[in-house]
């Protein structure tokens, strides 16, 4: 794949759509530029877990951990 991008006067670039898809990046994600003897490589910065950014999104008001989830379910069922 060969794609081009233009650098703005502020040093910004727009990463082409096909490149974003291949890298699996979305708005707000970070890229790292690594140089070696062959040239510059661009790759996404990954957190330890790909699910880390979703932590807590599905259980507002419930503390984390198995015990807390079980306690919440029991309270929900009235036991």
Of 15, 54, 21, residue with least CA distance to 33: 15
What fold, for 1-47? Pemi-like Protein 1; Chain: D (2.10.260)
Residues 42-70 pLDDT 10s? 999 987 777 777 776 776 777 778 888 88
Please report the pLDDT score of residue 31 as a whole number: 94
Please report the pLDDT score of residue 56 as a whole number: 67
Residue 35's pLDDT band, with cuts at 50, 70 and 90, is: very high
Whether the pLDDT of residue 14 is over 90: the answer is yes
Residue 5's pLDDT band, with cuts at 50, 70 and 90, is: very high
Strands (E), 1-79: 31-36, 39-44
């Amino acid at each position: 794949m060969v794609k081009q991008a233009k650098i703005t006067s502020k040093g910004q670039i727009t990463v082409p759509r096909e490149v974003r898809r291949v890298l699996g990046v979305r708005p707000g994600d970070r890229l790292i530029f690594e140089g070696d003897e062959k040239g510059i490589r661009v790759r996404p910065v990954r957190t330890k877990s790909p699910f880390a950014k979703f932590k807590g999104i599905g259980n507002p008001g419930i503390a984390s951990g198995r015990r807390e989830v079980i306690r919440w379910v029991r309270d929900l069922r009235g036991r």
